[in-house]
Chains A and B, each alone.
Chain A
Amino acid sequence: MHPAYSVIFFTTASGAGYGLLALLGIFAASGLLPADRWLGVVGVGLAMTLIAGGLLSSVGHLGRPERFLGAMRQWRSSWLAREGVLAILTFIPAGLFGIGWVFLNSTQGFFGWMGALAAVLAGITVWCTSMIYASLKPIQQWHNVFVTPSYLVLGLMTGALLLVLVTRAFGVYQGAFGWLAVLAVVAGWAVKTAYWRHIDGTRPRSTLGTATGLGRLGTVRLLEMPHTEENFLMKEMGFRIARDHATKLRRVAGLALFAVPFVLALAAALGGPVVGTLAAAGAVLSAGLGVVVERWLFFAEARHTSMLYYGMAA
């Protein structure tokens, strides 16, 4: 599948944003974070910016952005609609939670509940995002059980790293944050490795034989495409990445998204304020880069059944 940067940015940024929002909600509500105005401004602000920015770029990806509100109509059947609805819904408790924190210096009681609610909705939103892909039967690299965990864990992980950085910067860091981040990184690493194993292991469900019904007559090969130049379908679904190139990028992703952040997250957890802050910053940068590569691969390695008709392997 064609890796569109708007979509890559959307899923990674909003993922991190929702992760951060969820953690802020939970830890603030549970009193692990002080209701300090500037912490609120920066923390919640950062989360909301990432989310909003992501959503905006996803809207920008539409052919008719001005109609984006329509995207919520079919929540009954469409994961994309559900995601839209949830994204909007999340803004309500998240907004109140932020207002309480920033203007009323309160993260408890009602506002605490709002924080918790925002956390829950954030999780569900990311889950919806993942389901958009996981529900697509024509794309085996997406239509599997590893996609949703990946999205959830990676959202949580990038969020957690941000949390560590923010709390370190404000000197309100707690050990739990650091260890949570370390755990998240390990989890993310595990899930993503499992995902890659899985897609390397799956043999295509459909072949040109089943796609044309001609398999029974012998091996089928494409002679002529319907048009001699690339059409929309091929540009959108015909994207192919060479095996060795993919393996290289997987290594980059593994390194930037997991290995480096793991070490730095440990450092952030163990080190003192200065080291910890710097380490956290490093972890965030590295993971930021890594998650973009990971998401790019998520698209680039995905193969669409319809491309069988264009002589490409599924």
Chain B
Amino acid sequence: MLSEPEIELSPTINDEVKYTTCYMCACRCGIKVHLKDGLVRYIEGNKNHPTNKGVLCGKGSSGIMQHYSPARLRKPLKRVGERGKAEFVEIEWDEALSIAAGWLGNIRETDPRKLAFFTGRDQSQSLTGWWAAQFGTPNFAAHGGFCSVNMAAAGLYTIGGSFWEFGEPDWDRAKYFMIFGVAEDHDSNPIKTGLGKLKARGAKVVSVNPIRTGYSAIADEWVGIRPGTDGLFVMALIHELLNADKIDVDYLVRYTNAPWLVIQDPGTAEHGLFARDADGNPLCWDAKAKALVSAKLADVTPAIVGEFTLADGSKAVPSFQLLAERYMDPQYAPDAVAERCGVPAADIRRIAAELADVAFNQTIELDIEWTDWAGRKHDKVIGRPVAMHAMRGISAHTNGFHTCRAIHVLQVLLGSVECPGGFRFKPPFPKPIPPGQKPAGKTFAPGKPLGGMPLGFTMGPEDLLVEADGTPIRIDKAYSWEAPISAHGLMHMVITNAWKGDPYPIDTLFMYMANMSWNSTMNTKGVIEMLTDKDPKTGEYKIPRIIYSDAYFSEMVAYADLILPDTTYLERWDCISLLDRPICEADGPADAIRQPVVQPDRDVRAFQTVLLDLGARLGLPGMVKEDGSAKFPGGYPDYIVNHERTPGIGPLAGWRGEDGKGVGRGAVNPDQLKTYIENECFWAHHLEPSQRFYKFANKDYLDFAVHMGFIGHADQIVLQLYSEPMQKFRLAAEGHGAVQPPDRLRERIKSVFDPLPIWYVPYEEAMVDTQKYPLHALTQRPMIMYHSWGSQNAWLRQILGRNKLYVNSATGAKLGLVEGDWVWVESHHGRIKVQTKFMEGLNPNTVWTWNAIGKRAGSWNLAPDAPEAKKGFLLNHLISELLPPEADGRRFSNSDPVTGQASWFDLRVRIEKCAPGEAEVSEPQFPDIALPPGLEPAPEVNRYGADLSHRGR
């Protein structure tokens, strides 16, 4: 028996520790970076950070390999060969910036709309959007439009906040949790941690999802619903609850527009609008006073059913009556929807009963004193411990806006929004419904700023961005009759429209952090052709100029004319701002920064700094001083500290004012960043217990929100079950008002703009032959990859280096397939060749694969024969950005008709076994992309850490 060897139990693992914010995905967890010999030794979660409280996910834990990726761009590049060939020369930053300034300068002086500025995974939208506004182009949006605008819009038009990461289930108190259509989501770590808490407490988790993986795998009950039918399922739950009178009427009366009277005068321009008094206050019927009174008054006793006569003699009913009549109708009974949803009626009834039981028999009461909007004190808060969350499984369908609204209606009927155990807003939400900001761009002029932010919320036809003849003003046709409430734009339509010159040609497409020639676009093959297509007459590219900022050698790089290489997330300043998508918790607002923890070893610059530099070169208002010199010579950090959106309010809410004591408001504090760094790079404010619940009607909270600049005034925010803006668009379609839809859109607007949630068959399903395309095809986020950018990561690509098409075992057998067979998958739009894998936990009518694993050979500095390129694939080749042609041959975009949300998950396909001889290589394949100058071929062996170890090998 040998003696045990001496081993070092306490090696020093760092010579320096720096805090910053992770950016391996959009969750923005706090990280603690251990540095040794100038290299990153270890990245761990920051225990004090509100978002992740010390944990890191699989991606965040692989940050080292992302930061040292061999695919990092090294220097600005100028295209010299044909687009798509990646033939570049390296140029100096000064040349790059003057080229860009030259192009953009001309555009601004002539027609600012000819700049389309679209940003993908942008965490600085308050800067990029503001920049676009100062430039004067309405053509700005980030990824929201192809992402989950349905969730954002449905929430903001219904409850003043939304799913996404803008609210959260009360993980510590919920007893019943329903999660719809979520594989991963932006709140990556909080959801995982939250599920852990629910499970530890023995709360019931129900996952509604065609696929049983990830979160659904650990759910206590998996509802394997048929894609696109959640609206029916939810309405059936509502049907059950209404019929059994298991709803929180008190909550409806206090906090919602259920009592507001809706004018019943068909054919008139007022039909379906709220009856209002002279001051524009909505009316209700005070059942005690037996009188019409303002529904906004305190202490009235409003009727929620009944028919009442208005001053002008016309009839009106409380909006709740319309809601109840609709959903109590037998067409929404469980038995009526069960088959279409693929969910047994008995299960639907049971789940409704479980919801009612938890909400009304397992109520939580917290002895927290709080004051409501009218100044009345309450000694406790009542919790209906049913929490819900939903994401892209709901939103990425053409009926997603309504489905999401239906879920919110369900939550509100149960009284489970903003209460203990329910769904709770994260400040700055709730906001007025919808938020006051309207989209700017009706008027735009050469050399002038836009006079507002490009993105906003339409209240009715008058707010649309359309010419007199109805022609869209924006290149993506956002806020046009094709997508009236497209609060996030339609990034997925930009390239197609610009290529077509519909509604008009553009000059320069300026993109940031969006892999639009690959996984981020629909119709990938077609889009690649559009990007390289030339006008036969002029010989010029149909999209004349493309400027792109990426940090890595993504598929998109080859298609740009000018590349502005960015830093990695460990090399730059950033700000996770309350003006953008903050990291707040339900219990209080929070924001954070990124600081450079290592210096770039390459000639790269942070995009935000580059953007401000461009702004200064273009002399954009707010970016230059009176004397025309740069206002933020220090770049982004300079802006973060010194920029004020409105006096006293800037990108960071923490430690404002000369004394650094200001919360949310206050003069510029020159030491702000220093203070953030001293505080582990984040700021979190904790609301008083009295401010934490019913935020939409909580005086102390509302006052605080006003102080913080979240909202303009402290009025109660009344939840909108019945949506008046929707009715306004419908009235226009029925021929009322000055701004009316073009005739070919009237019917669609009429049917879709229903003030109460409706369900309809998703467009692709309705338009294609479902006999020919019997299967739904979906993608899911792998927890281990962030879109396209994880495949360059030496660790992550070992875990998921190729994707397969998952087929329900029984379905596969019916189709005569054996697991592992290669098959052709065909949609109305295209055809791909892929390898199959069988699974049990999958809706039989559905096939699916992991998103964005397939790579273009040569990109990302992967060997051209890497499995990502030869075996992996994108479903995107099957998804068209356009729906099949209408009668008149015109084609609408494959988007939700209300919000313009890209409908990734409406896809219908057929699968067919490959012929025996066919090569086991995924199709389509594209020519390899060559490495751009400056990039070394990637090494074969990775021994990272060998020299960092105390064993010093």
Instruction: Report A-chain residues with C-beta under 8 Å of the C-beta of B801.
Output: 227-229
Would A73 and B867 count as touching, CB distance under 8 A?
no
Residue B65 CB within 8 A of the other chain: no
User: In the complex, how many angstroms separate the beta carbon of B941 from the nearest chain A beta carbon?
Assistant: 14
Residue B200 CB within 8 A of the other chain: no
Partner of A228, one of B1, B2, B799, B839: B799
Known: A73-B2, A76-B1. A227 touches B799 (CB 8 A): yes
**Chain B residue nearest to A228 in the complex (CB):** B801
Of residues 53 through 87 on chain A, the ones whose CB sits less than 8 Å from some CB of chain B are 73-74, 76
Interface of B: prevailing SS = loop
Q: How far is the CA of A228 from the CA of B799 in the complex (A)?
A: 6
Would A229 and B2 count as touching, CB distance under 8 A?
no
Q: How far is the CA of A226 from the CA of B795 in the complex (A)?
A: 12
Q: How far is the CA of A19 from the CA of B456 in the complex (A)?
A: 89
Would B839 and A229 count as touching, CB distance under 8 A?
no
User: In the complex, how many angstroms separate the beta carbon of B899 from the nearest chain A beta carbon?
Assistant: 35
Partner of A227, one of B1, B2, B798, B840: B798
Residue from A228, A229, A231 having most chain B Cβ neighbours under 10 A: A228
Q: A227-B798, A228-B867 are in contact. List 16 more A-B contacts (CB 8 A).
A: A73-B2, A74-B2, A76-B1, A223-B839, A226-B799, A227-B799, A227-B801, A228-B798, A228-B799, A228-B800, A228-B801, A228-B802, A229-B798, A229-B802, A229-B867, A231-B798
Of residues 205 through 249 on chain A, the ones whose CB sits less than 8 Å from some CB of chain B are 221, 223, 226-229, 231
Instruction: Report A-chain residues with C-beta under 8 Å of the C-beta of B800.
Output: 228
Of residues 793 through 841 on chain B, the ones whose CB sits less than 8 Å from some CB of chain A are 798-802, 839-840
User: In the complex, how many angstroms separate the beta carbon of B591 from the nearest chain A beta carbon?
Assistant: 37
**Chain A residue nearest to B868 in the complex (CB):** A228
Instruction: Report B-chain residues with C-beta under 8 Å of the C-beta of A228.
Output: 798-802, 867
Instruction: Report B-chain residues with C-beta under 8 Å of the C-beta of A74.
Output: 2
Instruction: Report A-chain residues with C-beta under 8 Å of the C-beta of B840.
Output: 221
A–B Cβ pairs within 8 angstroms, 18 of them:
A73-B2, A74-B2, A76-B1, A221-B840, A223-B839, A226-B799, A227-B798, A227-B799, A227-B801, A228-B798, A228-B799, A228-B800, A228-B802, A228-B867, A229-B798, A229-B801, A229-B802, A229-B867
**Chain B residue nearest to A221 in the complex (CB):** B840
Q: How far is the CA of A76 from the CA of B1 in the complex (A)?
A: 8
Of residues 141 through 157 on chain A, the ones whose CB sits less than 8 Å from some CB of chain B are none
Residue from A76, A221, A223, A231 having most chain B Cβ neighbours under 10 A: A223
A residues with a Cβ closer than 8 A to B are 73-74, 76, 221, 223, 226-229, 231
Q: How far is the CA of A221 from the CA of B839 in the complex (A)?
A: 9
**Chain B residue nearest to A74 in the complex (CB):** B2
Instruction: Report A-chain residues with C-beta under 8 Å of the C-beta of B2.
Output: 73-74
B residues with a Cβ closer than 8 A to A are 1-2, 798-802, 839-840, 867
User: In the complex, how many angstroms separate the beta carbon of A81 from the nearest chain B beta carbon?
Assistant: 12
Instruction: Report A-chain residues with C-beta under 8 Å of the C-beta of B799.
Output: 226-228
Instruction: Report A-chain residues with C-beta under 8 Å of the C-beta of B1.
Output: 76
**Chain B residue nearest to A76 in the complex (CB):** B1
**Chain A residue nearest to B800 in the complex (CB):** A228
Q: How far is the CA of A229 from the CA of B798 in the complex (A)?
A: 7
**Chain B residue nearest to A223 in the complex (CB):** B839
Instruction: Report B-chain residues with C-beta under 8 Å of the C-beta of A227.
Output: 798-799, 801
User: In the complex, how many angstroms separate the beta carbon of B124 from the nearest chain A beta carbon?
Assistant: 34
Q: How far is the CA of A24 from the CA of B2 in the complex (A)?
A: 38
User: In the complex, how many angstroms separate the beta carbon of B281 from the nearest chain A beta carbon?
Assistant: 58
Q: How far is the CA of A153 from the CA of B798 in the complex (A)?
A: 45
Instruction: Report A-chain residues with C-beta under 8 Å of the C-beta of B867.
Output: 228-229
**Chain A residue nearest to B804 in the complex (CB):** A228
Instruction: Report B-chain residues with C-beta under 8 Å of the C-beta of A221.
Output: 840
Instruction: Report B-chain residues with C-beta under 8 Å of the C-beta of A226.
Output: 799
User: In the complex, how many angstroms separate the beta carbon of B442 from the nearest chain A beta carbon?
Assistant: 51
User: In the complex, how many angstroms separate the beta carbon of B606 from the nearest chain A beta carbon?
Assistant: 34
Instruction: Report A-chain residues with C-beta under 8 Å of the C-beta of B802.
Output: 228-229
Q: How far is the CA of A221 from the CA of B1 in the complex (A)?
A: 42
**Chain B residue nearest to A229 in the complex (CB):** B801
User: In the complex, how many angstroms separate the beta carbon of A90 from the nearest chain B beta carbon?
Assistant: 25
Instruction: Report B-chain residues with C-beta under 8 Å of the C-beta of A231.
Output: 798
User: In the complex, how many angstroms separate the beta carbon of B773 from the nearest chain A beta carbon?
Assistant: 26
**Chain A residue nearest to B212 in the complex (CB):** A223
Q: How far is the CA of A76 from the CA of B798 in the complex (A)?
A: 40
Q: How far is the CA of A229 from the CA of B867 in the complex (A)?
A: 9
Q: How far is the CA of A76 from the CA of B801 in the complex (A)?
A: 44
Q: How far is the CA of A82 from the CA of B386 in the complex (A)?
A: 66
Q: How far is the CA of A228 from the CA of B791 in the complex (A)?
A: 13
**Chain B residue nearest to A73 in the complex (CB):** B2
**Chain B residue nearest to A227 in the complex (CB):** B798
Q: How far is the CA of A228 from the CA of B785 in the complex (A)?
A: 14
Instruction: Report B-chain residues with C-beta under 8 Å of the C-beta of A73.
Output: 2
Q: How far is the CA of A171 from the CA of B853 in the complex (A)?
A: 72
User: In the complex, how many angstroms separate the beta carbon of B837 from the nearest chain A beta carbon?
Assistant: 8
**Chain B residue nearest to A226 in the complex (CB):** B799
Residue from B2, B799, B802, B840 having most chain A Cβ neighbours under 10 A: B799
Q: Top 8 A-B pairs ranked by shortest CB distance? A: A228-B801, A227-B798, A228-B802, A229-B801, A227-B799, A223-B839, A228-B800, A229-B867
Q: How far is the CA of A223 from the CA of B809 in the complex (A)?
A: 12
User: In the complex, how many angstroms separate the beta carbon of B901 from the nearest chain A beta carbon?
Assistant: 30
Q: How far is the CA of A154 from the CA of B29 in the complex (A)?
A: 64
Q: How far is the CA of A2 from the CA of B800 in the complex (A)?
A: 25
Q: How far is the CA of A75 from the CA of B839 in the complex (A)?
A: 49
Instruction: Report B-chain residues with C-beta under 8 Å of the C-beta of A223.
Output: 839
User: In the complex, how many angstroms separate the beta carbon of B908 from the nearest chain A beta carbon?
Assistant: 25
Q: How far is the CA of A303 from the CA of B799 in the complex (A)?
A: 25
Instruction: Report A-chain residues with C-beta under 8 Å of the C-beta of B798.
Output: 227-229, 231
**Chain A residue nearest to B841 in the complex (CB):** A223
Q: How far is the CA of A223 from the CA of B217 in the complex (A)?
A: 12
User: In the complex, how many angstroms separate the beta carbon of A231 from the nearest chain B beta carbon?
Assistant: 8
Q: How far is the CA of A169 from the CA of B172 in the complex (A)?
A: 89
Q: How far is the CA of A73 from the CA of B1 in the complex (A)?
A: 9
Instruction: Report A-chain residues with C-beta under 8 Å of the C-beta of B839.
Output: 223
Q: How far is the CA of A203 from the CA of B867 in the complex (A)?
A: 37
User: In the complex, how many angstroms separate the beta carbon of B838 from the nearest chain A beta carbon?
Assistant: 9
Instruction: Report B-chain residues with C-beta under 8 Å of the C-beta of A229.
Output: 798, 801-802, 867
User: In the complex, how many angstroms separate the beta carbon of B347 from the nearest chain A beta carbon?
Assistant: 20
Q: How far is the CA of A194 from the CA of B2 in the complex (A)?
A: 40
Q: How far is the CA of A226 from the CA of B796 in the complex (A)?
A: 11
**Chain A residue nearest to B806 in the complex (CB):** A223
**Chain B residue nearest to A231 in the complex (CB):** B798
Q: How far is the CA of A285 from the CA of B1 in the complex (A)?
A: 44
Q: How far is the CA of A223 from the CA of B801 in the complex (A)?
A: 16
Q: How far is the CA of A73 from the CA of B839 in the complex (A)?
A: 49
**Chain B residue nearest to A77 in the complex (CB):** B1
